[in-house]
Amino acid sequence: MIKQNYPIDANTLQKLGIDALTEKLGAVGMIEFMRLFDAGYGDYTKDRHKMFEHLTIDDICNEIGIK
């Protein structure tokens, strides 16, 4: 394990983390692992409201099988 004096700056921490992941998982595994934490883009809350604004409670209940 690499011993570091903390706190360290964000760039150094990122490099150490990527190096450690690459060492254990290989380059492709590191990339796949990093993709798990992609924050995405846009505003999910606004998009969700726009997507479902036309639905009523009855529509939702019917859709999921609650009468």
Q: Tens-digit pLDDT profile for the chain (67 aa)?
A: 666 677 889 999 999 999 999 999 999 999 999 988 877 788 888 998 998 899 999 998 888 888 7
16 falls within a domain: yes
pTM over 0.75: no
- Our count of domains for the chain comes to 1
The half-sphere exposure of 1 on its side-chain side, counting CA atoms within 13 A, is: 3
pLDDT of residue 6: 75
Percent helix / strand / coil, the chain, rounded to 5: 65, 0, 35
Please give the residue range of the domain that contains residue 39: 10-64
Name which of 46, 45, 25 is nearest 36 in CA terms.
25
pLDDT of residue 33: 93
DSSP state of 11: H
DSSP state of 3: -
CB within 8 A of 18, min separation 6: which ones? 30, 34
46 falls within a domain: yes
41 falls within a domain: yes
pLDDT of residue 2: 62
pLDDT of residue 65: 86
3 falls within a domain: no
